[in-house]
A and B are shown apart, each in its own frame.
Chain A
Amino acid sequence: GNSVTQMEGPVTLSEEAFLTINCTYTATGYPSLFWYVQYPGEGLQLLLKATKADDKGSNKGFEATYRKETTSFHLEKGSVQVSDSAVYFCALRGPEYGNKLVFGAGTILRVKS
Chain B
Amino acid sequence: DTAVSQTPKYLVTQMGNDKSIKCEQNLGHDTMYWYKQDSKKFLKIMFSYNNKELIINETVPNRFSPKSPDKAHLNLHINSLELGDSAVYFCASSQGTGGYSPLHFGNGTRLTVT
Residues of chain A at the chain B interface (Cβ within 8 Å): 31-32, 34, 36, 38, 42-46, 49, 51, 87, 89, 93-95, 98-103, 105-106, 108
Contact = CB atoms under 8 A, between A and B. Distances in A.
A35 B105 CA distance: 13
B97 A99 contact: yes
Nearest to B31: A99
B66 interface: no
B56 to A, nearest CB: 6
When A and B form their complex, which 7 residue pairs have the shortest distance between CB atoms, in order from nearest?
A43-B107, A43-B105, A44-B105, A94-B99, A103-B43, A106-B41, A93-B99
A44 B90 contact: yes
B86 interface: no
Interface residues of B, number: 24
A106 B92 CA distance: 18
Interface of B: 4, 33, 40-45, 48, 56, 90, 92, 97-108
A99 B98 contact: yes
Nearest to B33: A101
A34 B98 CA distance: 14
Nearest to B104: A46
A96 to B, nearest CB: 9
Contacts of A49: 102
Nearest to B58: A100
Contacts of B102: 34, 46, 49
Contact of A105 (B40, B48, B101): B40
Nearest to A41: B107
A31 B90 contact: no
Given A34-B102, A95-B99, A100-B48, A43 B108 contact: yes
Given A38-B41, A93-B100, A105-B41, 13 more contacts: A32-B100, A44-B43, A46-B104, A49-B102, A51-B99, A93-B99, A95-B99, A99-B98, A100-B45, A100-B56, A103-B42, A103-B43, A106-B43
A110 to B, nearest CB: 14
B99 A45 contact: no
